[in-house]
Chain A
Amino acid sequence: MEKLLQFCNINKSFPGVQALSNISFSVKGGSVTALMGENGAGKSTLLKILSGDIHPDDGHVSIDGVPQRFESPYQSIKASVSVIYQERQLVNSMDVMENVFFEDLPQSKLGFISRAELRRRTQEIIDAFGLPIKPNDMVGRLPVAYQQMVEIMKAYRRDSDIIAFDEPTAPLTDKEIEILFKLINQLKARGKIILYVSHRMAEIFKISDEIVVLKDGVFVNSFETAKTNESELVKAMVGRDIGDTYANLKRNENIGGVLLDVKNLVTKDVHDISFQLRRGEVLGFAGLVGAGRTETMRAIFGADPIISGEITIDGKRVHFRSPKDAIAHGIALCPEDRKEQGLVLGRSIRDNVSMPVLSKVRKGPFLNTKSEEKLADAAIKTYSIKTPSSEKEAGELSGGNQQKIILGRWTSDKMDTKILILDEPTKGIDVGTKAEVYQMVCDFAKLGIGVIFISSELTEVINVSDNIVVMQNGRITGTIAREDATEESVLQLAMHN
């Protein structure tokens, strides 16, 4: 019998928002159904309901026609549902095999965990994936991409009938994405029900059979992948036609003199890095995950130690011993991991915006809350951050809005930012907001700011940047101007040996 998963009239509200209203649709076995929508559309909430993590106010999930009431993730797993979240649910201090067989460790007759059996069965799964890791590698020491694959192995091992992926490819490189897609196709051939959440259009077209679009917690429409196209989907997600994002960008036409000159920079992660950033230029940094782009920028920003090399700003040699020195020289860094390194989630938007300029919002020895509020309100207005007030905790906002808080922090009128480093600024952000971010990047350049734009999405880094530096294995392998850049040429530099 063909498997069937149905969402029936699901409603869910959180304080102040209706996260899902009356969501109904069904998903057939033996096919991949993509779930699309902007941030805040309700995709993650829906997956959390499927996994039993949160409970709907109304409505239910039904499997093969039988209504289910999941009180906990455990019940959902028992009902043959596996949900793979963006945030990995792994125990870093345990090894691969213990994580993969987490709630179902094979036991010997005496009730001890059978390590040999565990190793053998994990090795089988690793072989099926074709990855160069060992069953007893410590998960916390694996690169992020492999950690994500371990998470996927866990679902694969459970052999669940229903498998949901929430942005599975975000930390993966092309090689693992290929492996993942091959696996998904195998699972599909075996009649599994697969839900796939992603913001990446190209992937959706490659892997899915059906596409369900949500917007503001409401079911908009479903499409057969073969019979739809990108602009139709974007229109459904955004509710309007956003046109050709890149062609519509208002770019900076006046690129000035050299602002930042990096010569032969060496750290423990990168080697012989040399490049120049000009005033008003958007300099893209492309490469695979782990190519050393983040490490390069952290070193320039004074966050990690430099072994050798020269950094010159406006013709003056600089030595930064800490981010504080770099900030004093007008450098700003928006880190890749917003939650871990960017924001203090438990503090208000106001406190997060004023962080680097606390000395400048003082009245005598005390902080002047009024002028902090002014800064935050300006950021909220400039970047249209969706919030009732600047008092709201940063952790309560969506990813896109959190990113805007960080941008607001570095571009407030108390800052004198000359060099803005954006590390994966569009990661996990929806289509509509992405387009906004691209225009912001160009607007910064127009102000004469030199912008470094790191992105693992080839299309965006090629189309937004004026020049693209490509890195691989801790080295720069080439620099291409936008006019000459194609996805193929960049990818070749990123992967060449």
Chain B
Amino acid sequence: MTKANKFLRSKHFSLLVLLVLELALFWALSRNHSFLKLNNIRNILNSMVIYTLLAVGGGLVIVAGEIDLSPGYVGTAAGAVMASLLANTGIPWFVVVIICLALGGAFGLLNAVLINELKLQSFIATLATGSFIAGGFAYIVVNGKTLEINNSALELIGTGKIGGFFPYMVIISLAVIIIYGVILAKTKFGRAVYLCGGNREAARLTGISPKAMSYILFANSGILGALAGILYDARLKAGNLTGTNHYVFPAITAAVLGGLSLGGGHGDMLGCFLGLLIISGFNNGLVILGVSPFWQNVASGLLLLLALTLDYFTKRRAKGGRARGKTSTVL
């Protein structure tokens, strides 16, 4: 198979086709073709920031064959703690940020302990730590109220723009996905993530430690979740009760759409990025066209199904007409 041929059959290609179709559609339908104006492209990237951070952290966990539902809630808790510390103590803002990132890491480690030592399923364990413990913790910290944040440094990070146009937060999120993309694709650590996700026992029997891997990845997902919460609150200039809670499912959806398969062992950050772009672009396009929020939900569901169907056909073609997704040695 030639390189070009291989690309035509790759996940990235089918994602690009979908993205181009989507961009063309909204470009054609939007008034003055405003959808693809520089301003709006920036808006799309800006709306992706929180999703990107959650998708990168949660996505790595997915590649390793587990799932983490907690980072959105952890972000809310971290943001709440940040708002509370800034309001009630004199701790400098950057120390507060570090404390909050550490809190995110601690939640991740808690997940890892539950999963590796108590052998809970990651779905249940992270749902419990996230939606209940971290979510409840956020309420307690801010005492059920929204806390205003008055800090010029955080305000600059949250709302500042290069040249008055390009938000710092977008730069941060792009840097994060690129750095993690390189780590996943190019380093020993990244390869070990794939190997553990592909076959945990085989990886262990060749000297890789899936357990250590699991601790690192969950802690990392917690830290990125906290970062997402910090940036969210910095942009909002307030720590509130629901914060990044509702960002985690769309983020995971985008990651899966981008080819990070839930069974583990497959996918990369480029695909994840394309998945994020497709979903965020789609949501943005619907808003520009003035579609009612209720129909936006339905449309998003249809988009996801379309993407998965497209993926099915690409896979089938790549396997030469064999309908089964499973690789099997038939001979």
Contact = CB atoms under 8 A, between A and B. Distances in A.
A466 interface: no
A131 interface: no
Interface string B299-331: 000000000000000000001111000011111
B192 A48 contact: no
Contacts of A19: 330-331
B185 to A, nearest CB: 9
Interface in A2-26: 14-17, 19
B205 to A, nearest CB: 5
A40 interface: yes
Contacts of B209: 322, 324
A109 B321 CA distance: 45
B330 A44 contact: yes
Contact of A365 (B187, B202, B203, B204): B187
A351 B203 contact: no
Contacts of B194: 344, 347, 351
A393 B199 contact: no
B330 A358 contact: no
Contacts of A301: 205
Nearest to A358: B188
A345 interface: yes
Contacts of B198: 344-347
Nearest to B320: A15
A133 interface: no
B265 A344 contact: yes
Interface stretch (A71-79, A307-315, A333-341, A431-439): A333-341
A324 B186 CA distance: 22
Interface stretch (A152-160, A394-402, A440-448): A394-402
Contacts of A362: 188
B208 interface: yes
B266 interface: yes
B191 interface: yes
Contact of B329 (A42, A346, A359, A399): A399
B329 A303 contact: no
A303 B211 CA distance: 13
A327 interface: yes
Given A345-B199, A347-B194, A39 B206 contact: no
Nearest to B204: A323
B207 A323 contact: yes
Contact of B199 (A17, A303, A344): A344
Contact of B205 (A328, A341, A345, A395): A341
Nearest to A87: B328
Given A40-B331, A358-B192, A346 B265 contact: yes
A86 to B, nearest CB: 11
A323 B206 contact: yes
Contact of B204 (A15, A16, A303): A303
Interface in B68-111: none
A250 B20 CA distance: 62
B195 interface: yes
Given A355-B206, A358-B188, A347 B330 contact: no
B329 A398 contact: yes
Contacts of B329: 395-399, 402
Nearest to A15: B320
Interface in B264-307: 265-266
Contact of A346 (B188, B320, B327): B327
Interface centre among B188, B192, B265, B329 (most CB of A within 10 A): B329
A305 to B, nearest CB: 14
A378 B331 CA distance: 25
B30 to A, nearest CB: 41
Given A48-B330, A301-B205, A323-B205, 7 more contacts: A324-B209, A340-B202, A341-B199, A347-B198, A355-B195, A396-B327, A399-B329
Interface of A: 14-17, 19, 39-40, 42, 44-45, 48, 54, 301, 303, 322-324, 327-328, 333, 335, 340-347, 351, 355-356, 358-359, 362, 365-367, 393, 395-399, 402, 409
Interface of B: 186-188, 191-192, 194-195, 198-199, 201-209, 265-266, 319-322, 327-331
23 contacts: A14-B320, A14-B322, A15-B322, A16-B320, A48-B330, A303-B205, A323-B204, A323-B207, A324-B207, A324-B209, A341-B199, A345-B198, A347-B194, A347-B195, A355-B195, A355-B206, A356-B206, A358-B188, A365-B186, A396-B327, A396-B329, A397-B329, A409-B206
